[in-house]
Structure 1
Amino acid sequence: MAGVSMAAEWQLLYNRYNRKPELYLMQWKHVDFMRNKVACAPFGGPIAAIRDDAKIVQLFAKSALRKLRIFTSSGQLICETVWKSPGGRLIGMSWSDDQILVCITQDGTCVFWGNGVVCINEAFGIFAVPDLKNPRVVQLADCKLEDLPHFIAVIEPQYTMSGNVEVLLGVGDHVLLVEEDGVQQLGVGIGPLQKIVVSRTGKLLASFTHDGRLLVLSTDFSNIIFEHTCESALPPDQLAWCGMDSVLLYWDDMLLMVGPYGDPVCYIYDEPIILIPECDGVRILSNTSMEFLHRVPDSTVSIFQIGSTLPAAFLYYALDHFDRQSAKADENLRLIRSSLPEAVEACIDAAGYEFDISQQQTLLRAVSYFAVRFGSQFQRDCIQEMCKTLRVLNAVCHHDIGVPLSIQQYKLLAPAVLINRLINAHNYLLSLRISEYLGMNQEVVIMHWACTKITASLGIPDASLLEILLDKLKICKGISYAALKHEPHSSKQIPLLLSIGEEDTALMKAIENGDTDLVCLVLFHIWEKRPSLEFFGTIQPRPLARGLFITYAQCYKREFLKDFFLSTGQLQDVAFLLWKQSWELAKNPMASKGSPLHGPRIKLIEKAQHLFSETKEHIFESKASEEYAKLLSNQLQNSA
């Protein structure tokens, strides 16, 4: 039977079964991991590939141009562009949480996480960009490195006590924990460590030592959770967590799965693979296929484990007897009558974890045929909800869409985020159908489609295009035309403009309306989304927006305001800000003569004097600043 053959494919790691069903046969051609740099997004996201210029490869006439190509997880080409090497050699490539491809060029090395990145340059300086949506560079403490570390790993800000990123560097026989404010030595004598990977929760580390041992430790290196000696001291090409139950090590043709107890599981591959960690397992991408290695859920084990006598197994196999018109169907049901709710719950749960549609249907048929007759309304609701979820998952997993989400990933991602990703991939029809099926607002999908249609419809007169769009949109009851500028109420129009990325239009509309609350709403949205210089360029020619920003920043973001004034050449305004800071320090009781705050006051005044001296209109202020700085310096010396 199908259940028996399914269980035969499982691998036992101590007392837990694992499986790796094939999700796709890849539809791409001529993608070879030996020749390409590849970046894979989690949650079944897209794959970016570009020829690795660090490797010597044979070029053919039509492949001489270096192209960056984007594929779905099933290998369908989404788009491609000629790589023009902006900024120099490509050293790192990764997808952000928002599925934006980030490429880093020039020299050094880098490590990505979520929406951030840490880089080490040629001079061994360590820099972090905590939020790629607002790329502010932070220099971390100087480690006095003389060579690149054995490894670089990141503990994300959400898992640190300080709320800032922490970087782990393998140096000598220990590890350096580097923050913005300092450096600590950890695990002295435990190394040298060749590789480290941080668990999804940020609480554990999997590391590979110089003498071929896998160590799983707490992030503070105070406790070794378990240790496994590998057959080779050669560090693995890839090291990854598989959920929280096991660690994967990959060398050339061998993938080793190690758990805290028992012998490891070994998988052999005759082509290179890439490990893509997910919240509940690891996707395994090769040149020809995509697999998903994960722990077999308890509900699935209770049904399909060979020799299982649990109620869920009796319920499942009762369906087979029923289809063969065997009396054993009734016999099975009588045996589990008192445990029927438990069996129903297990079959519904197991259906949710299956990628094979026929297996989903069989599990749910087993429930529908027998359990609904005796079950409660609650069980019927559970079956309906699971059917609804599976229809969505099966639709996005189809090879034409190529988003292979497990049910756990889907719940963690949330339907609204999934729909936004489908919209951004221009899968409008599917997005609309899923939104309608789940009872969600379809307006965002329709407006995004309409705006894309407008952008792509070159050569069609505006009036004709608008008439076509409005005629189509009338089908949707209650739709707002804000994104097409036909919504009379700005309070509705502006949030919708922001939701589809029309920030400049939203700002223009808010300023025209004269509502300062709406202008502030748009400003904060643009501020968060755009780089600083681009944000400054957006507000500079707009007096109302500029004035509101300056008023807010004077109270809450003074350093950012200095950057704005410097970018626009308003040196005297920066100087006045420095004066204001100095006077605020003077009000502090700790700023009395000879206190530690007295020195910083002098430095602020000296900086203001230098900036005033750059403008002819502020000679008086420059001279006054110079004399005041001398006065404060004399006071400091006399009090010493």
Structure 2
Amino acid sequence: MIDAEIGSAMKPLDIYCEFCSAVGLNVRYFLWCGNEAVFLSDSSHCTFTGMDNESLSFSFDSSHAVCQEIDGIRVFSSRAHEFFCLVHPSLSQIFSVGSLSPAAFLFIAYMEYTVRALNIKALLMCTELQKKNYNAYEYVRMIQNQMHEAVLKCIEAAENSFDPPTQKKLLKAASFGKVFAPDAEVARYTSTCRILRTLNNLRQARCAIPLTYYVCFFMFQDLTFVGLIEYLVECGEYSIAVACCRCLRVNEEEGVNRVVMHWATENVRNESLSDDLIVSQIRAKSAEFPNLSKAAIAEIAVKFKRTELAAKLLNYEGNLASQVLMLMTLGRKEKALARAAQSKDPELICFVILKLIHSMEKLCDFDLLIRNFEIPFTLYKLYIREDNPQQLKYVFEETDDFLGQAEYHLKRCVEQSLFDVTGKIESAKAAQKCFAVAKDDFFTSQMADYFKLLNLQAEMEEKYGEMFVDCSLRETVKRLFLANEAARAEEMQKQFKISDSQ
């Protein structure tokens, strides 16, 4: 194997090793396997050769295709999907015959410590068990100062093993070592357990994704495992995708929620499924996934022109704001207004009111609709009181709200210009009439007095050429006395029942 060092164009090549391959001249694949081995193959034979000049050769029973990965070689044939990679150094350190590494001693210590008798007779042999435990602690004592390194190597070996029973033994050995070094690789130990649980499920025949720990952790970690979840979702393995999201602690929005939404989308797209069946399936999933948004699924249903399905889904949406927005999109205006009223959220109700005002062609149709809902109708009147007073008057007249009409005319009377005396008088007269119809005796009498006062003030203005309108009753009487109209002033005192002290 020849490797060129990067440097000047004329720098000589360094020869690391040379080997003779069993593969003939018709080389079909020549690929790297990791960083320290190469793979050669023709149509029926292949060879792995490392930099130490050790080789491994075998034959293929059928045609095959080979794909190079970052840390290994993936071989596809008509019968199998195989992955080849170099044995990790941590595994060699632990399982090599006669290994003296701290990790090997820790593993042996754990195995000695966990030895148990296989029958009742052996259980009575306490001396033998004590001897085994003594051997375990002797191994621990030998590596006491290297316990952190031993724990780390056991964890690394578990990460790079493809055999679940071996993984468990290695992780338990690491856990055993942590008893003597409690702060050794705590975070890595827990993350390794979670990732290996995921990888072992992915390597099963159902998924057949023989990922290595290196690819899963170091490559997918930057993407928060989204790439892996995306692959599972596209394969339709929703249950495994959800389990992976939870085990790997992927952000809920990018993980579980996204997987469930993809599942729901596929169901909605499937025209062979009835609306009722889809609704029942989604409701069943809601028990497991309480954050599942029916409004979001309804929006997807609208895109696929399944409006009836969308409407049925919205009946089970817990978020009233989302439900109202989608009902507006579906054109279910009355139902949207009813749900907004049910929420008793002023902002949501006002939002629906404004949307309906701008979407309905005839405002009178909107008035007929909104008066059926008490809270929205009250907020609507508050809105048009400032924005469209004339429309408010129309609403009061249509609903026979005479007190509201009287309030409107009274406000108009107060707001009219001092120079428009006739308009003030007409508004006051209209307000008095409305109070009378509403059978409000107090305000009727008050408006009658105010109407008389306005007429008198109008006469005074015409006679003296001074501003009398909008003056108080006391001020008006005072001005009459100053104008030498004592008789008229006394007449007003009697008419409006003003005492001398006033």
TM-score, length-scaled by structure 1: 0.39
Higher relative contact order (Cα pairs below 8 Å, separated by 6+ residues): 1
More helix by share: 2
Larger radius of gyration: 2
More strand by share: 1
